[in-house]
Amino acid sequence: MKFLDQARIHAQSGAGGNGCLSFRREKFVEYGGPNGGDGGRGGHVYVEAHEGLNTLVDFRYAPHIKAGRGVHGMGSNKHGAAGKDVTITVPVGTQIYDEDMEFLLADLTDPGQRILLLEGGQGGKGNAHFKSSTNRAPRRTTPGTPGEERWLWLRLKLMADAGLVGLPNAGKSTFLSTVSRARPKVADYPFTTLAPQLGVVHADGREFVLADIPGLIEGAHEGRGLGTRFLGHVERCGALLHLVDGTGDDPGAAYRTVRDEMIAYDAGLEDKPEIVAVTKADALDAELAADAVAAVTAAGARDVRLVSSVAGQGVFSLLTALLAAIDAYRAAEARADAMAADGPADGDPATRAGDDADGGTGSWSPV
């Protein structure tokens, strides 16, 4: 299935049915009178987050969503039926913007979350609604009100625990395919990854979701390369794993390039917990590996690690550190939410300290 993280849709709720003008006239019945029924309300348009979806591609081929119209009122005090509601199912993490993409209307971050997007029109009143002691034969009715109609943008931000960032060809896809059963395209040329990829990683008896996004280049915030559009998929991550190609000409400059683009993106990515690793250690001798780590450290990175996805070198310790960073970030979020609610947190996620040495008691395995 093709991945699509942005779609423009046209949604329209149903109009209300009109009220009916009718009078009761029956043979051998002494008293008649108005008996026009009310019209039914128009159908609503709902949006619901579904955890079984991970793309918005369906809306490319069916962008128009329309709810049913309310049925008109009828004689004999028969009220019209309500129009059929429509529910739009979207992946968890979908945001809904107005037509100009300036105002965020909804953010669906929980499975099963359901919101009313457009309200159906009200049904009109039949003439029976207006009868009174002074107006026994009203000829007044009201039409149903029209439904709401608007163009909207859907934007998907994947819900992952950790995100992979780095320049093109830094080894992100190789790392993802090593630690999970995800099978992204891996090749020896830049931009082999054209869409975000997700993988479930099992490490030390736990699991977390790791997202790989297309590589960034200098000037990405100005639209160069694939731009920064896909950085939105790591906005919700608890931690970032920044991979730097150890065989590149200047690993320090490569690290700074990606950091500068995250800062220019201006969504707080630079403030997230970051773990930095120099990749392709199997292709470096001891001296070159030390030089690469030193260059990345001099560029501003802290606690730089050396890893080889192909040989498995440093993989377990890297995953352990990533789990600890995710836990620490989620615990800080829980404390902040508790303070915002002016009450104690129900319980912060436990912060774990992993074994930092390869070959420890823990283990990881792709699933």
The predicted pLDDT at position 310 comes to 86
Q: Which of 101, 134, 156 is the last residue of a domain?
A: 156
Structure-model confidence comparison of residues 341 and 85, the more confident one: 85
pLDDT in tens, 168-210: 888 888 888 888 877 776 666 556 666 778 788 887 778 888 8
Which pLDDT score, from 0 to 100, does residue 350 have? 43
Other CB atoms closer than 10 Å to residue 272's CB: what's the count?
18
> Does 269 lie in the same domain as 124?
no
Q: Which amino acid is at 261?
A: E
Q: Do the domain assignments include residue 234?
A: yes
> Count of domains in the chain?
2
243 is in an annotated binding site: no
The annotation status of 84 as a binding-site residue, yes or no, is: no
Q: Is 281 part of any known ligand binding site?
A: yes
Query: Could you tell me the CA-to-CA distances from 360 to 100, 281, 303, 318 in Å, in that order?
Result: 53, 20, 19, 12
In a shared domain, residues 179 and 264 = yes
Check whether 172 is labelled as a binding-site residue: yes
> Among the ranges 105-119, 156-170, 177-191, 212-226, which has the highest mean pLDDT value?
105-119
Check the annotation: does 168 bind a ligand: yes
Query: Do residue 302 and residue 225 come from a single domain?
Result: yes
Residue 55, marked binder:
no
Q: Domain check: are 95 and 172 in the same one?
A: no
**β-pair type (6-12, 149-156):** antiparallel
pLDDT class of 354 with cuts at 50, 70, 90: very low
87 is in an annotated binding site: no
Structure tokens at 37: 């029924």
The residue segments making up the domain with residue 87 are 6-156
* Side-chain-side CA neighbours of residue 99 (13 Å): 5
Closest to 44 in 3D by CA, of 116, 114, 96, 113? 116
Query: Annotated binding residue at 133?
Result: no
Q: Is 208 annotated as a binding residue?
A: no
Residues 183 and 138 in one domain: no
CATH number at residue 124: 2.70.210.12
Do 140 and 189 sit in the same domain of this protein?
no
CATH code of the domain covering residue 322: 3.40.50.300
Biggest CA-to-CA distance, the chain: 110
Of the residues 121, 138, 156, which one is the last residue of a structural domain? 156
Residue 194 annotated in ligand binding: yes
Tell me: do 152 and 186 sit in the same domain.
no
173 labelled binding-site residue: yes
| pLDDT (tens digit per residue) in 75-108 | 989 999 999 999 999 999 999 999 998 899 999 9
Q: Which of 21-35, 74-88, 251-265 has the highest mean pLDDT?
A: 74-88
Domain check: are 134 and 218 in the same one? no
Q: Is 280 assigned to a binding site?
A: yes
The 45-50 sheet, strands edge to edge: 86-91, 45-50, 114-118
Q: Has 135 been labeled as part of a binding site?
A: no
Is 284 one of the annotated binding-site residues? Answer: no
Model-level pTM? 0.74
| Pair 147, 171 in one domain | no
Supply the pLDDT for residue 191: 60
Give the whole-number percent of the chain exceeding pLDDT 70.
Answer: 86
Residue 333 CB contacts under 8 Å (≥ 6 apart), including other chains? 238
171 carries a ligand binding annotation: yes
Burial of 100 (0-12, 13-18, 19+ CB in 10 A): exposed
Q: What is the pLDDT of residue 266?
A: 77
178 annotated ligand-binding residue: no
Range with lowest mean pLDDT among 21-30, 115-124, 243-252: 21-30
Known binding residue 326? Answer is: no
The answer for residues whose C-beta is within 8 angstroms of residue 207's C-beta and 6 or more apart is 200, 201, 367
Burial class from Cβ neighbours inside 10 Å (0-12, 13-18, 19+) for residue 282 reads middle
Is 78 assigned to a binding site? no
